[in-house]
Structure 1
Amino acid sequence: MIRDAHGPGALSESLDEAAHRCLVAGFDGTTAVPDTLKRLVDRGLGGVILFTRNIRDADQVRELTGTLRELRPDLLVAIDNEGGGIGHLVGAGAPEVPGNQALGAADDPALTAACADALAGHLATLGITVSYAPVADLQHRPENPIVRTRSFGADPDLVSRHLRAWIAATEARGIASCAKHFPGHGGTVTDSHHETAVDPRPYGELDLAPFRAAVDAGVPMLMSAHVVFPALDPDHPATLSPRILGDLLRGRLGFDGVLVSDALEMKAIADRYGEAAGARIALAAGADQVIVAVPHLETTLACRDAVLDALGSGELARERIEEAAARVRRLAQRYATPPAVVAPWDADAGPEAARRAVRSRGGLPSPVPGAYVVDLFPPPHPALNWGGEDLLTEVRTLDPAATGTALTSEPGEAVVAEVLRAAAGRPLVVAVCDSGLYAWQGRVRDALLAARPDAVLVSTGLPEAAALCSYGRGRANLRAVAEVLAGSPPTAGSAL
């Protein structure tokens, strides 16, 4: 028998292992595995999640994932890998794909499949076999602060066909995909990383169709949303709701794969419940795994202890944890081991998708060689965007005569005046990224356009009227816009 030091009761070795299967842990380090994590793995830890903090280069990642599997071969190694500006593998040579909004704008499922194949193939070469992608949320509220260009679009049929393409391509590589965030984060005006999010719509208006499509396509994993849906359960966010995870997902939608929570340290859970209680409640509600993404393993231990204590006291049913662990084991049998041979992928698929998205709105502006480029965008989201790419850099790569500035906060009037002086006598490009959310961008844009109505307006977030639109801020997106501005058509067969 194993008695946890923090738990009141004795648990069998099999139940202790089952409880650990239900955890996914983040950690610090690029080579060495912390001793605490080794002990968790030894007791059955279900998976680990990698972030930019764990990535240096491709060889290092392969060595790290190999070390993790030496500890236990059926450990699931996962990462967020949506493409576009959302990813952690730039340092490891990730394929440049434009992100979902651009793929939806191009609306070619074969091209989406090729981009998903590139991302999954790259993961396979690194020994990462679980991809927390694709995003199945619909983007139909302009105020939504978190979905936006991560979504394929607003139309459920469009989103569903691209989900099917993505899931099939990822599965063909032997990588587990994970559609998120069930039952949809697109109807909120709040980022659940920062506070509780609510979708107030009636049941008939909720965004369930893409998730039905993902389930029908055989997606092996779904991720829950930390969102309250009063029409489904007015008292709990989806991650903690038996009605949503059990009655709706398992019952009505018939999903029998692994349901994993979004990260428990997100404030929608952590501030109201605490991570440890969140882990216990989520598993009781029907989640099969809970993610503790922060690298502080004491938080993971606190979540583990809460689950073990609840099992020991009978507050958490043994049968629920055994059911969850069985699903995780089945997933590991299918996906824990990376393929021995990885076929090459189409390196041109991402650049081509980015270019097709830029051209999807019809007419393009004439090239503006030697332009002064003002790129306005918010600071990268700490949980999502790690690239920090800017349009000026991409334009200058193609047109060394271009110059300009990149701004992530509102400048003073003197800076705006200096921009206008520097741009005098040359084309001016003004790029914004979701200016509807970040009012300072609108003010700077309007001041510049008032003085220079001839300026070319670019949108690198959701599309804006009268703008050249990239549908995202990944490097592939920005390079596709830069090609238009610089008048530099791509060479046939070239990759970005």
Structure 2
Amino acid sequence: MTHTERLLASAALPVDLDEAAHRCLVAGFEGTTVVPDTLKRLVDRGLGGVILFTRNIRDAEQVRRLTDTLRALRPDLLVGIDNEGGGIGHLVGAGAPEVPGSFALGVADDPALTARCADALAGHLATLGITASYAPVADVQRHPDNPIVRTRSFGTDAELVSRHLRAWIAATEARGIASCAKHFPGHGGTVTDSHHELAVDPRPYEELDLAPFRAAVDAGVPMLMSAHVVFPALDANRPATLSRRILRDLLRHELGFDGVLVSDALEMKAIADRYGEAAGARIALAAGADQVIVAVPDLEVTLSCREAVLDALRCDVLTEERVAEAAERVRRLAERYATPAAEVGEWDAGAGLEAARRAVRGQGRGPAAVRGAHVVDLFPPPHPALNWGGEDLLCELRAVDPTATGTTVTGEAADPASFVDGILRLAEGTPLIVATCDAGLYPWQRHLRDALLAARPDAVRVATGLPDGGALCSYGRGRVNLRATAEALTGA
């Protein structure tokens, strides 16, 4: 018997309690057509949900076959995916509607337009048989050096974020898709990405951005996701995901949330490096989480988390009442959302580009039309935990101006001076566009930009992240963000 088989055979709890414990798990896996045997056994034991990623996506027909296969194993299995829009979306290969990131929607500041974009995303999910969306982001982009929220947020003002959350949640709910506001109680005040290390928000209680989460709860959001962030004003010892004070005292008692509280992925280093995924699963559930996500496709990690939970139940470290409470919330969620709608109506496929155009023009009057330009598109390499569909400004610029040329750069040049000289030669006699993405976080971008502007003060500046001085700003790097920017540059 293999190690995996021994683990799968190790349950010695009553069947109903064993099933309840499994309902508290959400697993990632490898594959586009075949469900791994280990995952099948977990589903048979009561696994609460699976989370899909780009690795599971080939095309729309394949995704629907995969979700049908998963539900044939267990009809109440929740099938979810991160589906924020913008440059973060795993369904590009399945024909996902193109919508800008949330910040651009906040700049346009038309909740009805936000609802149309959210409706398009939710409608598309429904056609694929995916009924849980780990979106929208409820974080307020509060700290200028925050490395992970930024244009994923609706903005820097809590009330603006709140009204767009309400619009997104209502539109998603109308499609029969479960939305999930994240990352409670907020990740926008940190200077650390919790994918890489434990993050801390040092602000006092009265300055924390709880208002959007209150708005989400009041709007009836069925799920919230916790943040792997320490808030000394709330609990100096543990990140929110593992904190009873934050998950039970604040969220359940003060905010009155009775939906499913799901953890952010346990393999993120904020949890994995300090506690380990297995201990993280046990502590999170004891603290008040209802489900924990293990997003990595290595099912051995999911099994280790499962065993930690079962062992904690056997030893009374984790109470039966707590697991039963969590499992009942998941059961109610599945009752509402596990079955896809029989019919899916149309959605507004043009809403995303409309929003992106309004966001770019929201920065103010753009430059005079630029044709035949050479564009230098500087942006960081894609985040390893977030999808990137290959978008760049040059491709979108050439779609509206075939005479455009350019260079894309995703990291520091080996010889910056030679690189700048080469760009200047290529752009000699033509307009030059210099685009950066959050250059304040990446010195190599600033250095290249400043060197190019010193030699070409006539160059047009573009920011494809948050605003950067007087540059024309797209407020995101989704394909429609970049297309709208290209149109603004060329007058198309």
TM range, smaller chain: over 0.9
Match of 1:109 among 108, 111, 114: 111
Aligned to 2:461: 457
Match of 1:278 among 275, 280, 286: 280
Deviations along 1:427-455, whole A, 9 cap, x unmatched?
00000000000011000000000000110
* 2:437 counterpart of 1:433: yes
* 2:193 counterpart of 1:188: no
* 2:131 counterpart of 1:129: yes
Aligned to 2:335: 333
Structure 1 residue 297: deviation in Å? 0.1
Aligned to 2:48: 46
> Structure 2 matches for 1:16-415, cutoff 5 A?
16-411=18-413, 412=415, 413-415=417-419
Aligned residues of 2:107 and 2:362 also touching (Cα < 8 A): yes
Whole-Å separation in 1 of the counterparts to 2:195 and 2:295: 12
Aligned residues of 2:54 and 2:387 also touching (Cα < 8 A): no
Whole-Å separation in 1 of the counterparts to 2:366 and 2:240: 43
Aligned residues of 2:366 and 2:489 also touching (Cα < 8 A): no
The code of the aligned residue for 1:87 comes to G
Aligned partner of residue 458 in structure 1, secondary structure: strand
The code of the aligned residue for 1:237 comes to P
Structure 1 residue 378: deviation in Å? 0.2
Deviations along 1:383-429, whole A, 9 cap, x unmatched?
11321310001101111110010000122211110100110111000
Whole-Å separation in 2 of the counterparts to 1:15 and 1:124: 31
Aligned residues of 1:7 and 1:312 also touching (Cα < 8 A): no
| Root mean square deviation of aligned Cα | 1.2
Aligned residues of 1:6 and 1:309 also touching (Cα < 8 A): no
Aligned residues of 1:7 and 1:305 also touching (Cα < 8 A): no
Aligned partner of residue 320 in structure 1, secondary structure: helix
Change (3 A) 1:8 1:59: closer
Runs of 5+ consecutive residues of structure 2 not aligned to the other structure: none
Structure 1 residue 186: deviation in Å? 0.6
Structure 1 residue 465: deviation in Å? 1.3
Q: How many residues align?
A: 486
Aligned partner of residue 263 in structure 1, secondary structure: coil
Identity %: 79
Output the TM-score relative to the length of structure 1.
Answer: 0.97
Aligned residues of 1:380 and 1:388 also touching (Cα < 8 A): no
Aligned partner of residue 113 in structure 1, secondary structure: helix
Aligned to 1:424: 428
Output the TM-score relative to the length of structure 2.
Answer: 0.98
Aligned residues of 2:51 and 2:81 also touching (Cα < 8 A): yes
Aligned to 2:452: 448
Whole-Å separation in 1 of the counterparts to 2:449 and 2:79: 43
Aligned partner of residue 477 in structure 1, secondary structure: helix
Whole-Å separation in 1 of the counterparts to 2:364 and 2:451: 27
Change (3 A) 1:68 1:309: same
Structure 1 residue 9: deviation in Å? 7.8
Structure 1 residue 363: deviation in Å? 1.0
Aligned partner of residue 405 in structure 1, secondary structure: strand
Whole-Å separation in 2 of the counterparts to 1:221 and 1:147: 19
Structure 1 residue 10: deviation in Å? 3.0
Structure 1 residue 107: deviation in Å? 0.3
Aligned to 1:494: none
Structure 1 residue 367: deviation in Å? 1.0
Aligned partner of residue 49 in structure 1, secondary structure: strand
Aligned residues of 1:420 and 1:448 also touching (Cα < 8 A): yes
Whole-Å separation in 1 of the counterparts to 2:489 and 2:364: 15
Aligned residues of 1:7 and 1:308 also touching (Cα < 8 A): no
Aligned to 1:483: 487
Structure 1 residue 486: deviation in Å? 2.0
Aligned residues of 2:57 and 2:94 also touching (Cα < 8 A): yes
Structure 1 residue 361: deviation in Å? 1.7
Whole-Å separation in 1 of the counterparts to 2:292 and 2:470: 44
Runs of 5+ consecutive residues of structure 1 not aligned to the other structure: 489-496
Whole-Å separation in 1 of the counterparts to 2:9 and 2:21: 13
Whole-Å separation in 2 of the counterparts to 1:4 and 1:159: 48
Structure 1 residue 382: deviation in Å? 1.0
